[in-house]
Amino acid sequence: MSLQSSNFGKVAVLQGGASAEREVSLMSGAGVLQALRSQGIDAHAFDPAERDLADLRREGFARCFIALHGRFGEDGTVQGALELLGIPYTGSGVMASAISMDKVMTKRIWRFEGLSTPAWSQVHNAEETRAAFQTLGAPMIVKPAREGSTIGLSKVTAIDQCAAAYALASEHDPHVLCEQFIAGDEVTCPVLGSAHAPRALPLIRIVAPDGNYDYQNKYFTDTTQYLVPAGLPAGEEEAIQALVCKAYSVLGCRGWARADVMIDARTRTPYLLEINTAPGMTSHSLVPMSAKAAGMPYDALCVHLLQSATTDARDTE
C-alpha cells in the first residue's frame, strides 16, 4: 500500500440505498470500489439500506465515498448523518445537496441569479397540470421534482395526456414539476472543485434514439451516442462551461457534480435543466467519460474525489 493510499484510512463506498435509483447506485458503487482497491486503498462496500450508518463510526471508517443516487443519498440526509458522525464524505454538503436534489428550488435560485433555465410550474393535481400545459405549451415535460435518472418523466404533447403524466410523476414524489420543453442539442457538463474555484470538464453531447434519453437508454443500451468533443460551434462549449460553473457555485456545490443543459436549436441559447451532486459512476456514466477526455482515467478520478472528501464543519474553502 502506498503512503498516499494509507493516508485515506478505512474507506466506505456508500452504495445501494433505498431510493428508486438503487440498481444504478449498486453499479456505480461496484466500479468505485474496484477502482479504489486497485490503487491500494482499504475500501469496503457499505449499503445504508441494509446496515446502520452508526456502524461507520463503530467500525473505524475514516472517509466515505458517496455512490448513492437519488433520495436518502443525494438529498442531504446521508450528508447530515455523516456530519453528526464527523466522517468526511465526497461531494456537496447538506444544504447544497438538499437544494440540488429539489429541481424547483434549484430553478428558483438559478432564476434569481439570472441564469437561464426553462419556464416551469409546480403542480399538485391533474387540473393544475392541464393549466400548466396551456401556459407552457407543447411539448411539456412533467417529472417528479426530487428524483433523478428520468424516473417518472413524461413528455406531454396533448392536453389529454396531462392527467396520466401527473399520475406517473406523483407516484414518485408529491412535488411535481411541469417544464417548458427546449428542442435542440442536449449536453452535459461535469464540474470538479470547490464552489469558489470550480473547474468544468469537457462537454458531452448526447444523441439518443429518437431523441428519447430515458432510463433504459441511459443505463442499459448501447444505442445512445455520447460525443466528446461535443462538436459545438466555436465558443459555445466555453460559454456553457462558464454557465455551469456559475450554476454550481451559486448552489454552494463542492467536490463534483454534473449539470444537464439543453441548447435551443433556433437561438443557440443554453438552458440549465438540473444538477446532480452524486453523478453516476457506471460503465455508461458521463462524468468518467468526460474526465477521460480531459486526461483523467477512471481510477484517478475516484482517488481525486476521495481526496476532496470533507464535511461542512471542516470545509474552509
What residue segments make up the domains of the chain, in order of their start?
Answer: 3-91, 99-116+182-307, 120-180
| CA pair distance 303, 50, nearest whole angstrom | 26
| CA pair distance 101, 106, nearest whole angstrom | 8
Phi-psi region of 94 (alpha: psi -120 to 50; beta: other; left: phi over 0): alpha
pTM of the model: 0.93
Q: pLDDT tens digits, residue range 2-26?
A: 446 668 999 999 999 998 889 999 9
- Catalytic annotation, residues: 21, 149, 219, 258, 260, 274, 276, 280
Return the pLDDT at 302.
Answer: 97
Assigned CATH topology for domain 3-91:
Rossmann fold (3.40.50)
Cell of 206: 448526447
Average pLDDT over residues 211-237: 76
CB 266: neighbour CB atoms within 10 A? 8
CB 122: neighbour CB atoms within 10 A? 15
3-state SS, residue 121: strand
User: What percent of the chain clears pLDDT 70, i.e. is strictly above it?
Assistant: 94
Residue range 120-180 forms a domain whose CATH class is alpha beta
Residue 212 has pLDDT above 80, yes or no: no
Q: How many helices (H) and strands (E) does the chain have?
A: 12, 13
Return the pLDDT at 190.
Answer: 98
To the question of domain 99-116+182-307 being in CATH 3.30.470.20, the answer is yes
> Mean pLDDT score of the chain, rounded to an integer?
93
Average pLDDT over residues 138-161: 92
